[in-house]
Structure formats: structure tokens, C-alpha cells
Structure 1
Amino acid sequence: MTAVRLTARPVSRLALLAGMLCAVAACDDETSTAPASTRATWQEPSSYTYTLRSSEGERSLLGTFRITVRDGAVAKAVGLDDSGRRVVEDVPEAVPTIGALLGELEQARRDDADTAEVEYAADGHPVRISLDWEENAVDDEARYVISAYEPVDGRRVGR
């Protein structure tokens, strides 16, 4: 049997490598196509349009919507499928701004939800939010996919 002796230098390298792997693994909680500095600087504009596909769980907000936000509030919501049309007709106040979706994400994190993940676009706005408050509970999940986002002030996304 061959004995292996570790000196301080290889052990330090091993510890450094392990730390780097842990740091990379921690980044998986917030998968992003944008650098962290871009995400941190994105601020919700007061007026914009976007398409929202909400799925998973038994929530009042299920369906696909085209949403117009003016002065920080939902000004218009159009259901793009049967579920979305029902929501717009029955509970229009349930249709959120992107800021409200981010608020739900932050609340899930404060509540120690099992899953509270977000993916960002290159300009820093979220494109996917996944929530699951209790891993083994049924129908407490939420999945939001944000697409066709465009500020209304005339700026194009990515400028």
C-alpha cells in the first residue's frame, strides 16, 4: 500500500479549487445571460409592454398575456389564450407588472422557498422566474416567462 502525504501547498490548492467550485455552483441559483453588473443596474421603467406566460400550480394567474404598463401600473392586459382571457375578464387586478413579479421572487426568497430562481436578458430585465415554496407540496409552484419586452419611451431593448 502506498502512503500519500499532503503538504500545505497542495492542500491549499485543493481548498482553493473547492471554493471556486462552490462559487460556480452558487451562481446556478441565478442563471443569467447578462453580467451581474447589468442585472444590478436594471430598473423597471415606468412604461413598457411585455408578454407573460404564467404556468404551474393552481394559481389565479395562469395563461398568456400581452401587458401594457404605464406610470408603473398595468394599464392594459389582453389574454392571448383561453386561460389568459378568463383571468383578464374575472380578476384583471391579478395581472402583474414585471416589478410585481420581482417582488414575488424576493418574497419567496425571504420566505426560504425551496426554489426562487431568475434568468436575465442581456439588458438586465428578467426573462424567466421559477418559484416553488415547498418542494413536496402540490400546486404551489409558479413559472413566469417574460418575452417581447420593450420600454414604451421609444428606447429599444439592448441600447
Structure 2
Amino acid sequence: MAAVRFRPRVLSVAALVGALLCATAACGSGESQTATALVRTTWQEPESYAYTLTSTTQVLAGTFRVKVRDGKVTEAVGVDKDSRRQVRELPGEVPTIGELLKRLAKARSDHAHTAKAEYATDGHPLRITLDWDQNAIDDEALYVISSYEPTPA
């Protein structure tokens, strides 16, 4: 029987191949996106509330102070130049938080590349990130929700 000798070069090639396999498995799986998609909130949209929305989408970009009553936006005020113009030109485009959560649910059911949210301790979303197709441009959406407060009905 012949003795097998390992040369340093063979060992270094084997180590390199192993490292590449580990790196490839970690990079291309996309599992972290799926795990995030399973997080749900028990937050219920109140009858009346106000919040600030900072949106970066193709359709709606800027910062808006929003008032909601009975599931409908009753007032949207643009905080910056672009958002003021958009409120004038596209008054129905500013969403409620409930509508943002529906967009998130739709993206998840459509198996979007990214559909994740971060939540406050009371359960309302703080940040919603959507990207339907990783390889497409201009389909990403980021919604940042701040200054949320329920208001008297």
C-alpha cells in the first residue's frame, strides 16, 4: 500500500476551497430576508392619530405630517419643498399607517426580495423597507414613521 503525503500546497488549496464554499453559502442564501418577513405586529390602527412620514419612493418622496381619522388621511402637510409640491399635485398619495402595513403584507405575499419592518415597543411600525425585485431599479420604497401619537376621536 502506498503512503499518501500531503504537501503544503494541497492543504492550502483545500483550505481556500473550503473558505470559498463557506462564504458562498453565507452570501447567496437570502435567508435573512425571509426570516425578517415572518415578524408580525399586533398593533391595531387607532380611530384617530397623527404621524410624520418620510418617504423615499418613485411616487412619493419627502417628509409629510399626516393626520388620520377613521382609516383615512384627513390632512397631509408637506414639510419640505418636494413634499409640499406632491401634496398639491398628488393629494391622495399620502398613506395611512394601515395602508403602509397593507403594502408590506402585499410585498410579502408576492415574495418581494425585501419586505421588512421595524416596530416600536407599542407595535406600530417605525420603518418599512420594500424592494420587489433585487435587479430592478426604481422599485424600492423606504417609509420612516416618526412622531406617532394617537389623538382624541
TM class by shorter chain equals 0.7 to 0.9
Residue 104 of structure 1 is matched in structure 2 by: 103
Aligned counterparts, 1:6-155, within 5 A = 29=36, 39-40=41-42, 42-56=43-57, 59-153=58-152
Is there any run of 5+ residues in structure 1 with no aligned partner, and where? 1-24, 155-159
Give the Å deviation of 1:153: 2.3
Instruction: Write the deviation string for residues 35-75 of structure 1: whole angstroms up to 9, x where unpaired.
Output: x7xx32x100011000000014xx22111000000121100
Residue 10 of structure 2 is matched in structure 1 by: none
Q: Classify the secondary structure of the residue corresponding to 1:108.
A: helix
Amino acid at match of 1:78: V
Distance in 2, Cα, partners of 1:103 & 1:70:
17
Distance in 1, Cα, partners of 2:111 & 2:34:
17
Distance in 2, Cα, partners of 1:102 & 1:83:
24
Runs in 1 of length 4+ with deviation above 6 angstroms? none
Give the Å deviation of 1:27: 8.3
8 Å contact from structure 1 (residues 119, 129) kept in 2: yes
Give the Å deviation of 1:128: 0.1
TM-score by length of 2: 0.74
8 Å contact from structure 1 (residues 133, 140) kept in 2: yes
Distance in 2, Cα, partners of 1:31 & 1:81:
35
Distance in 2, Cα, partners of 1:50 & 1:27:
28
Distance in 2, Cα, partners of 1:44 & 1:144:
17
Task: Give the aligned CA root-mean-square deviation in angstroms.
Answer: 2.4
Distance in 1, Cα, partners of 2:151 & 2:99:
18
Q: Classify the secondary structure of the residue corresponding to 1:105.
A: helix
Percent identity reads 55
Q: Who wins on radius of gyration, i.e. which is larger?
A: 2
Is there any run of 5+ residues in structure 2 with no aligned partner, and where? 1-31
Amino acid at match of 1:113: A
8 Å contact from structure 1 (residues 68, 77) kept in 2: yes
Instruction: Write the deviation string for residues 7-29 of structure 1: whole angstroms up to 9, x where unpaired.
Output: xxxxxxxxxxxxxxxxxx57851
